[in-house]
Amino acid sequence: MGLLTTSTLANCLLLTASIAQAATSDPTQQLGGNSPWFPGPDVNDIPYEVPDGCSVDMAAFVSRHASRYPDPGAYNGWVALAEKIQAAQFTATGDYSFISSWKPVLRNPAVEISDISIGGYKELYDMGVVYRWRYPDFYTENTPFSVFANQYPAAPRVVNSARLFARGYLGPNSTYGDVYVLKSNVPASIANSLAPSDSCPTYDDNGGGDNLTTWNNLYLPAVTKRINSHIHGNLTFTNSDVTNFPYLCGFETQITGHRSPWCNIFTDDELRKYEYAQDLRYYYGSGPGSGKNYTLMQPVLNAIVQRLVDGPNKTYVNSNGQSWTPGPLIPMFTNDGQINQLVSEIGVFDQQKPLPSTKIPDDQIYIASHYVTMRGTINFERLTCSNQKYVRITLNDAVYPVPSCQNGPGKSCPLESYAALIAQKSQSQGSFVQTCGLTNSTAAAAKTNTATFLVDNALSWDVNVCFGDLEIEGGKKLGSKLGGTKFVKCDTTIWEDQVHLFDAAKAFSPTKEIHYVVANAGISTKDEVFEFNSNISCPGPSITPTNSNAENRPQKPDLKTIDVNLNGVLYTTKLCLHHFIKQNGQTPSQQQEDTFLILIGSGAAFLDVAQTPQYEATKWAVRGIMHSLRWITHFHGSRVNVISP
């Protein structure tokens, strides 16, 4: 699937009193959360193939986003490291010779930072294809397909992962894929998103805390000393520098498609120690050793189990009263913290003893590199074996049994027993509201300890829409039918009306900001530009003669179409960009909210349409606006596009 093929080098490094050998295994598979995706090792000696006599009739997976470019903080660290290297006078040979000319591999940081990398594209397309192969009966061509994605506030990488997976899964028919983007930081999303911890005030990921610090202080100094012994001159790496080398190994490899030279710096033993540092980071940050942090994906787990119990043909009634029958595959995408919380709760690590901070235990099965890699995936399969239902869990395609429930085929767990186990866990741990110390008023949104987004695809997620139109009665009627909306009378050809509409939208927004603008106003009327004002007959059917005036002269045409379809759109565009730049500033940042201007085009912007010169001219003009703006809005952190129904 998404594993990058790398070559292995075994260069000998001469030390003062011993020989240290570069990693002979694949270093990218020992980097914890910094590893590109790879199939997990069969640590439980259970074949991946579906057990004989069984079939999979339903599956659900929760996946981390795929391989990505570094976040701003990490990239700034890369830049600082490069500057430190370039400012020094030194020599280095062998595996270290690349250091003198090394620089960060990003080609366009302003665009690339925090988003999915090229290696991530491949992981996701491959993932979609493999899931289609794996469960060939789960999808019928040209039918709707749903994917759920956490709206990670800092970057679009989770949503983009869902989109890319859908393209790989659906192929040319990817337009049938719907990505349901779940907010995690609004009242409606409490205990009802793919990142519930975002709405939990008591959640605090300490990144491994004192346990990680203790371990780093034990193993890093010797590694740093060994590496510095190969550098001759005034360049001296610190422990902080050195702990980033494996990070660079993983990221550079999946960004470029070639094994990074940083992968040759750590020995096998040192890589295992780095990997254990990643284990401690996740175990004590958001895993079993993090207090109640690891319980916060319980609402999602409860929802998954309920769907498995209901089966693949269950029809649900949405909050809008419409019925919905979801497909047998439930794809969900989120972030590494949520993957770690969920994997700590599903039962497969229930017998893992607390990880010590001074040594690597011999009986360790909780290894972050085996499940929280980029595109790390927790997969639940509902098995039908002789009319009995079972649950089988895989982590990165390796089977993991639940120690207390593995009496089914292939060490699977009877579905009824697994549902009871998870229900008991949920009850003993307390509700999400209790764990997070939410107030009664806030907790009202979390009516149960089970997320509902998997059975209700009509949730509003607190989206507020302000819309304007000339038709007052119809606008008010539509507004009364839809929740979270506000109607404002507006003639889009009048500047002052549009100013008022934007001001009303800003006032209506809970955040007092505007994030998405759709320039939807448009008309197509009888085009007087194409009328011939004369009693003289005109050849051909294209030109429409009208009554002549006394002097048989052409009359001034009505250009209302130009006013609405072009001038009004330009007014909307100017006001939109004014508010976006005022909110976001003039340079993009990872902290800003997404802002997006959507222009409405038409097939007339691409094709010849007879007798409508005004309409066609305006739709070509809308395309022109988009082509001009897309070179500007990007640098303000906003997006612009045109859709042509």
Give me the pLDDT at residue 569, please: 94
Q: What is the pLDDT of residues 235-265, one digit of tens each?
A: 999 999 999 999 999 999 999 999 999 999 9
Percentage of the chain modeled with pLDDT above 90: 68
Confidence band for 517, pLDDT divided at 50, 70 and 90: very high
Give me the pLDDT at residue 34, please: 98
Mean pLDDT of 593-604: 87
Mean pLDDT of 547-563: 75
Residue 64 amino acid letter:
R
Q: What is the pLDDT of residues 146-158, one digit of tens each?
A: 999 998 877 889 9
Q: What is the pLDDT of residues 165-174, one digit of tens each?
A: 999 999 988 8
Confidence band for 318, pLDDT divided at 50, 70 and 90: confident
Average pLDDT, the chain: 88
Q: What is the pLDDT of residues 347-373, one digit of tens each?
A: 999 999 999 999 999 999 999 999 999
Give me the pLDDT at residue 637, please: 80
Under 8 Å between Cβ of 66 and 120 = yes
- Tokens representing 397? 């395609």
Same fold for the pair 1-30+70-113+206-285 and 513-643 = yes
Confidence band for 469, pLDDT divided at 50, 70 and 90: very high
Residue 487, pLDDT > 50, answer yes
Which CATH code fits 1-30+70-113+206-285? 3.40.50.1240
Confidence band for 443, pLDDT divided at 50, 70 and 90: very low
Query: What is the rounded CA–CA span in Å between residue 229 and residue 115?
Result: 37
Helix, strand, coil percentages in the chain from 3-state DSSP, rounded to 5: 40, 15, 45
- Token pair 């042509």 is found at 644
- Token pair 């090394």 is found at 102
Confidence band for 447, pLDDT divided at 50, 70 and 90: low
Quickly count: other Cβ atoms within 10 Å of residue 573's Cβ.
21
Mean pLDDT of 615-622: 89
From 161-170, 456-465, 624-633, the region with the lowest mean pLDDT: 456-465
Better-predicted residue by pLDDT, 16 or 375: 375
Residue 142 amino acid letter:
N
Residue 552, pLDDT > 90, answer no
Check residue 512 and give left, alpha or beta (phi > 0: left; psi -120 to 50: alpha).
Answer: left
Mean pLDDT of 326-337: 97
144 CB-contact burial (10 Å; exposed 0-12 / middle 13-18 / buried 19+): middle
Measuring CA to CA, which residue among 377, 367, 375, 336 is closest to residue 31?
367
Q: Where are the domains of the chain?
A: 1-30+70-113+206-285, 513-643
Residue 391, pLDDT > 60, answer yes
Q: What is this structure's pTM?
A: 0.78
Helical residues (DSSP H) of 286-381, grouped into ranges: 298-310, 336-343
Residue 534, pLDDT > 60, answer no
CATH architecture, domain defined by 513-643: 3-Layer(aba) Sandwich (3.40)
Measuring CA to CA, which residue among 482, 322, 346 is closest to residue 402?
346
Q: How far is CA 352 from CA 184, 288, 312, 362, in A?
A: 30, 9, 33, 11
Query: What is the rounded CA–CA span in Å between residue 203 and residue 224?
Result: 34
3-state secondary structure of 278: helix
Q: How far is CA 629 from CA 573, 596, 622, 636, in A?
A: 9, 12, 11, 11
Confidence band for 535, pLDDT divided at 50, 70 and 90: low
From 284-298, 309-323, 526-540, 590-604, the region with the lowest mean pLDDT: 526-540
What are the beta bridge partners of residue 385?
54, 388
Give me the pLDDT at residue 100, please: 96
Dihedral over alpha carbons 336, 338, 343, 344 (to 10 degrees):
110
Give me the pLDDT at residue 286, please: 96
Mean pLDDT of 498-524: 90
Confidence band for 589, pLDDT divided at 50, 70 and 90: low
